[in-house]
């Protein structure tokens, strides 16, 4: 009679205890770490501060269209730079030129026939159709008036308010005695009312009535001698 071997028995052991729970995290540390991570993430996308060149290019792009129709290499930036240089040059000339011209006018006044009762000047005498003159006086052809050379007119205004207001020129209203060269005797007396742009410093441009007092109208141009009264 055979005996059956009993199945092996399993040794009963108590269940393994659960793993210990991790220690609680420090809430402040977690908050600080999260904030740092957020700042780092944001810092990666913050735009860089624009440089002066970036601002210049941005302004040029806003003010000007792309000027390809002038030249393919003419960009907005180059066009803007050229205009700035041109404006600077104009401003510089506006500052320098008045002082240079004033100095030149003052220097040339030493050779101009300025008002003096002791000197007789010689020049060409012509005539013109009168009207509103540089002195702000409206004259007609029958009046005994005259226009003096622009060099003399401007020279007398140098250093005075008339430099900016021709109506206040010291020459305006002054009397001149004149006669034709080579003719002795009485001459004519005329009043300065205008500025002659085509005359030299000692030339006189008379009204038709005044010119007839020293020459025939058909002669057009004659030599005259004159002095201030």
Give residue limits of the domains in the chain.
60-108, 121-228
Closest to 193 (Cα-Cα) out of 129, 135, 113: 135
pTM, to two decimals: 0.51
Q: What is the mean pLDDT of the chain?
A: 75
pLDDT given for residue 1 in this prediction:
52
Highest-scoring range by mean pLDDT, 96-100, 128-132, 154-158 = 128-132
pLDDT given for residue 112 in this prediction:
59
pLDDT given for residue 44 in this prediction:
52
For residue 97, pLDDT beyond 80: no
For residue 79, pLDDT beyond 50: yes
- Arithmetic mean of pLDDT, 74-94: 77
* Higher pLDDT pick, 146 / 118: 146
pLDDT given for residue 107 in this prediction:
42
Are the beta carbons of 106 and 186 closer than 8 angstroms? Answer: no
Other Cβ atoms closer than 10 A to 3: 5
CATH fold for domain 121-228: Barwin-like endoglucanases (2.40.40)
What is the residue whose two structure tokens read 């810092």?
43
- Measured N-to-C along each axis, helices 52-63 and 76-108 cross at an angle, to the nearest 10 degrees, of 90
175: confidence class by pLDDT, cuts 50, 70, 90: very high
- Residue partners of 76: CB distance under 8 A and separation at least 6: 57, 60, 61, 63, 64, 65, 66, 67
* Higher pLDDT pick, 188 / 75: 188
Are the beta carbons of 145 and 139 closer than 8 angstroms? Answer: yes
What is the residue whose two structure tokens read 């510089």?
92
194: confidence class by pLDDT, cuts 50, 70, 90: very high
- Arithmetic mean of pLDDT, 183-193: 86
Give the pLDDT confidence of 102-118 residue by residue, as tens digits.
555 444 444 555 566 66
pLDDT given for residue 82 in this prediction:
77
Residue 179, beta-bridge partner list: 225
């Amino acid at each position: 009679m055979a005996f059956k071997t009993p199945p092996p028995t399993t040794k009963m052991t108590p269940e393994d205890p659960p793993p210990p729970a991790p220690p609680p995290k420090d809430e402040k540390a977690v908050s600080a770490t999260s904030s740092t991570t957020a700042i780092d993430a944001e810092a990666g996308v913050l735009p860089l501060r624009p440089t002066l060149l970036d601002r210049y290019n941005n302004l040029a792009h806003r003010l000007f269209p792309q000027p390809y129709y002038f030249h393919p290499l003419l960009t907005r930036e180059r066009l803007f730079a050229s205009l700035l240089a041109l404006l600077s040059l104009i401003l510089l000339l506006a500052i320098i030129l008045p002082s240079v011209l004033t100095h030149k006018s003052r220097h040339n006044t030493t050779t101009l026939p300025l008002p003096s009762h002791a000197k007789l000047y010689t020049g060409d005498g012509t005539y013109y159709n009168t009207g509103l003159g540089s002195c702000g006086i409206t004259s007609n052809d029958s009046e005994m008036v005259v226009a003096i050379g622009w060099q003399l007119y401007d020279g007398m205004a140098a250093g005075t308010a008339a430099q900016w207001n021709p109506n206040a020129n010291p020459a305006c209203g002054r009397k001149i005695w004149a006669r034709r060269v080579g003719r002795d005797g009485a001459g004519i007396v005329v009043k300065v009312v205008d500025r002659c742009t085509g005359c030299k410093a000692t030339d006189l441009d008379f009204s038709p009535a005044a010119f007839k007092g020293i020459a025939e109208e058909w002669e057009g141009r004659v030599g005259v001698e004159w002095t201030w009264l």
